[in-house]
Structure 1
Amino acid sequence: MSSSTTLSHVAGPGPWRGLPALLAAALWALTAVALAALDGHVDIANLAMLVVLCSALSALCLPLWASMLASTAAMVAFNWALVPPRGSFGVQLPQHGVLLGAMLGVNLVIATLLASLRRRALQAQRLADHAEQARDWATALRDSPQADLASLTEALHDRIRGTLGIEARISSIRLLGTLPRSNDDSGLDTTHLHHQEADSREGLWLCLRQSRAMGPGTGWHDAQPAWYLPWRARQNSHGASRISHPTLTLLPPAEQEALRVHLQSLCDQLGAHLAHAQATQAEQQAREQAQSQSVRNALLAAISHDYRTPLATILSAASSLIEQADRLSPGQRLTLATTVHDQTRQLARLTDNTLQLARLDHPGVQLRLDWESAEDMVGAALNRVRQRDPQRRVRARLEPGLPLLRCDAVLLAQLLDNLIDNALAYSPSEAPVELLVRRQANELVLAVRDRGPGVPPAQRDQIFTVFQRGEAAQGRGAGVGLAVCRAIATAHGGTLKLRARAHGGSSFEAWLPVPDTPAPPSAEAHADTEGPA
């Protein structure tokens, strides 16, 4: 940060001190030597031009008051030493008086113009620095959309100190939610508020509440020794900062106003950024709620549609059994009872899938984990599938030496049942279905393979999405089975993949992580638990 953007020029040495002042003194000394050397060889008018030239050059180094003082002193010394009668402040000829007056007037005009140009250049440089700082601050806010409030507040303080200097003292409060009704700490973040400043808390809260700057030059509580600047956005403020500096009130009104406007713009940029982040978060929450509501509505519509057919079938079969029992043969009654049984099982499976999908999609779901054997889970799945697979199309193949799985056995059983039922439903009646279990590095793969029509490439990315069904699945189920399988695999830290088989069909594979199996208790530990004989 350049010195033109700080307040050091108010309290510290000015630009007329040090090297510039020495340079001006050297110019006047050189001019005095030149006047002495040229005295008697050049007329008095030309000697006066040397004084005017030196006055103009020294005005580049001195402030206005010092330049005027030096020019006046030079004119008096010129009159004493070179204007006849020499050694007095009188003038012998009228034109000499005109010469001295013109010389002094030109010197004063030059000093005034140069001081004005220097002041305007300083203001322009300060405005350029402020604009550059505002651009850098906007870039920093844009490049850190996920930054927390504490780091953003610290960044704002750093930029304010870069403008005012290290002597600046800054305190801030931030809104955590909605604006509190009172000036207590509820709803406010006071991390960057110095607790020893009781009046700062009141001033910051009032500034935040009113969304209005106060302090010197603001027209509101001008007697305050510090500025209170809100972090304004379009609707309200999201925080406020108290900014104090030992030389703040010593600035000229114009410079004080320009500096306050710049600091307010930095605060407003942060307020607009926080408002945008808040709006983005609210929009995201609204979108998620709308999507969740849409999913619930679609789920209810799909369930009601897919419940209707089996319920109608069950009702028809049950009515036939009740009303025509004496006219039905044993075979017909068995057929109707089987229909009721199958359709009821289909309803139960649909209900289980729906409930599990709703449960697993809920954040923070807890699984009932235990160590399970892959062989036991596959055997149980085969026993269940035999009831609906009298042709025994399902064949299992397990790799020897499979590790134990830390899993929820009920959920994995549902995953296997869904994948097997899906393969049986969409495969030719004579085609086999293979259940393969193998280990791949640190994962256990549960694969259900079929020889069905497969899934078109355009639908493979969406096949695990709820309510998505392939072309061959029209009219079959609600489209939640594979979505439940994916949710179960994800809940166990794994993934569910679809791989097209080389000679037709699909392979649905659940890749589950294999944790380290706990070591069995040692013989010594077992003996210790048994105790002495």
Structure 2
Amino acid sequence: MRPIRNNTPPWRPGSSTPGGMAPFWRTMRPSSFREAPMPPPASLLTLKSWRKLLNASVLALVSCSVVTFVTTPLGNLLDLVNIALLYLLNVVVLAVWYGRLAAIIGAIFGSLVFAHIFVPPLFSLAITDPSYLITAVEMLLVALLAGHLTAGLGSKAKEAANREEMLASVYALAADLAGAPDLDAVTRSVSHFLSATAKGSNHAVFLNDESQRLRLIGQRDLPADLSFEEAYLAAETHTLIERREGESGSQYFPLAMKNNCHGVIAVAWRERELELLERQRLQMLASLVTATIERVRYADLARNAMLKAETEQLRSSILSALSHDIRTPLTSVVGLSDALEASQPALAPHQLEMAHELRELAGQISSMVSNLLDMARLRSGQLRLRLEWQPLEEVIGVALEQIRRRNTGHAIKVSIPPDLPLLEFDTTLIERVICNLLENAIKFSPDGDIQLVAQEQRNTVAISVLDEGPGIPSGAEEKIFEPFVQMKQESSTPGVGLGLAICRTILTAHGGEIRASTRREGGARFTFTLPKGNPPEAEEAPNEEGAQT
């Protein structure tokens, strides 16, 4: 067995990929179909040629014998030209039905029989009359020419019919694939096409799964004359791989487009070689299947994106409606709790504690409802920024004042450079971002200190909130900014997982960004940035002389 591999490294047993190369889904090579045909061994070629020559000779001998048997009794009634035309007709029939080789042998054999039996002197090849010699030679030449032309026309006609049949089958396949809604339908169409057109051959379809590994589709076991290794090599190199063993062999067609390979179609043939039209048919099949898989997968992505957008819109609408309906009774609960605390005569201590706890819980629920309303408003695109140029330290001071009212037992260390530039932002929204980050730090670091650090960078100003809690779970640095996602290490403080999502939405609207990480010394770090922009220059105060005038 000698595999043909188009200038690719050999397969090394025991390696995870052919030739020790990188996984095929990471290769960045253009796809192409390249073949390196290998001629069969000389012994097989000689045996096959002798068999073909023997068949043609037998056909020519039988046909010439039939013509001779028919024309011999009529020799006295027909002249030599008519008899020669009968042998010429025999050559044309051989060319049409059995090909060029049978026609050539029939022409030579018929000319010899004609000269031996019908040209004087009879039953001798020693032609003495020059005119008879010319007739015999002309008959041979005309027979050879007629046989050659007829065989050529027959071959062209057969090739045209085969090509028409090939195009019809490919057109029918294209029609089936155009309506294929998923990869299962594509696989069924391909299997049906190969079963109908590649008769007597084994075939297999490999497609990539979600982890970009080749999987056999539609069959439980791989045929013995096909190989997973060759399929991996074809997928990795994006080239046609051909393997031959005597008169049998296999071909592996990669389903590759640009730098992406979706799978491989493998076909094995036995005791014959694939004709050119069969190879072209398989290459067209691979191209059609590749384009169809691209279409199906992009359609799935578009469908999922649309479904996700509709789901998000429906969820936002429901949350907005529920939040509005819940806010009114919550306001009443908070008011009644305040009234109970201030009622005269004063409540008993345990009753007063219950009223205070009721008010705290109502406040927490009100905060959650506000987050739901804000998130629904932000995600619906109704956010309107009131941008003003102002110092960052002022909004940080307001946020710290709000946090200190609720915070007990936490020291918040603030580090702000005195020369920070003015920034353009919405005061209320950025204050909300800082409060959310500080509340999140208090929630997840009950015993540690919290730091708030501002730092000027090249084009932005970065504000970081650092805590001494458990940090961010590995791999969740981006996921925690999605709505309704909370970290595993939760405290007793309730929440719905919207604070960080609101922060990212607000900062994205300001042209900034936010990221999370785990500190080496322990704890989490949340850093957000705001663009510096071009603040307006401060107006100069009028001097005393200008003021007096």
TM-score range, shorter chain: 0.3 to 0.5
TM-score of the aligned structures, taking structure 1 as reference length: 0.45
- TM-score, normalization: structure 2? 0.44
Greater relative CO (CA pairs within 8 A, separation 6+):
2
